[in-house]
Amino acid sequence: MIKYTGPKKIKTAVFISGTGSNLKNLIKFSKKKNSPITIDLIISNNSKAKGLSYGKFFKIKKKVFNFKNKILIEKEMLSVLYKYKIELICLAGFMKILSKSFIRKFKGKILNIHPSLLPKYKGLNTHARALNKKDKFSGCTVHLVNSKLDSGKIILQKKVKIYKNDSVETLSKRILKQEHKLYPAAIKKLFG
Ligand code: GRF
């Protein structure tokens, strides 16, 4: 794992597919003096992603890639990432699975946030699954991305209590609030 030292901030790209509340939160974090990162690029597979509006608002370059031909698109994506000298990728609600060869090119430099206490509930619908199992806790995890889905080294986790009357909506809202604290904390832990 590369250790970043000195005054130079880490050039970061955030990948999104939807709302982008984690993106917005990471942008705000990046603007703080003690943040080790700058956000230089937003990438989405979805031109309708609500989160893309933060690119305009915060004047951050954004690029949309249509993932129909993954091999070709990843090649294009890599050249854009190199062009902007991106050193770190933060996946934040990005709904596409990156190929092994793409991940190898950014080995140890791709982070993801996942709405469960990994290794529990990899993949989708984590809140519904935790509720169905009548778990007492769920939470969120920031981890490094490797070639297996939601399986890379865990950087930080936050436990969140599940209440008897919780629904997917109430639980996801409460966990999202914690995600917004956890992602910056994990970045600080790694690079701060
Ligand atoms: C978050 O719950 C994140 O953990 C998951 O997708 C959701 C994205 O939310 N991977 P947002 O787009 O950042 O609001």
Confirm whether 123 is domain-assigned. yes
Whose CA is closest to atom 6 on ligand 1? Answer: 93
Confirm whether 58 is domain-assigned. yes
Atom of ligand 1 nearest to the CA of 50: 12
CA 98 to chain CA mean position, Å: 13
Atom of ligand 1 nearest to the CA of 114: 4
Catalytic residue flag (residue 114):
yes
Give the angle subtended at the CA of 67 by the CAs of 64 and 41, to the nearest 5°. Answer: 30
Atom of ligand 1 nearest to the CA of 18: 12
Residue 68: domain span: 10-191
Confirm whether 106 is domain-assigned. yes
Confirm whether 5 is domain-assigned. no
SS3 at position 185: helix
What's the token pair of residue 144? 């490094």
SS3 at position 112: strand
* Centroid of ligand 1 to alpha carbon of 183 (angstroms): 11
pLDDT at 10: 97
pLDDT at 2: 52
pLDDT at 1: 47
SS3 at position 160: strand
pLDDT at 57: 97
Whose CA is closest to atom 3 on ligand 1? Answer: 93
Number of structural domains (the chain) is 1
pLDDT, averaged in runs of 10, over the chain (192 residues): 68 98 98 96 98 98 96 97 98 97 96 98 98 98 96 98 98 98 98 92
Confirm whether 4 is domain-assigned. no
Task: Indicate the top mutation candidate among 17, 22, 110, 126 to test ligand 1's pocket, ranked by most ligand atoms within 8 A of CB.
Answer: 22
pLDDT at 91: 98
Confirm whether 2 is domain-assigned. no
Side-chain half-sphere exposure of 112, counting CA atoms within 13 A: 24
What's the token pair of residue 161? 């209590």
* Centroid of ligand 1 to alpha carbon of 7 (angstroms): 30
Confirm whether 3 is domain-assigned. no
CA dist., res. 114 & res. 190, Å (int)? 17
Atom of ligand 1 nearest to the CA of 17: 12
* Centroid of ligand 1 to alpha carbon of 22 (angstroms): 6
Confirm whether 1 is domain-assigned. no
Pocket of ligand 1 (CB under 6 A): 16, 18-22, 51, 92-93, 113-115, 140, 176, 179
Give the domain CATH number at 140.
3.40.50.170
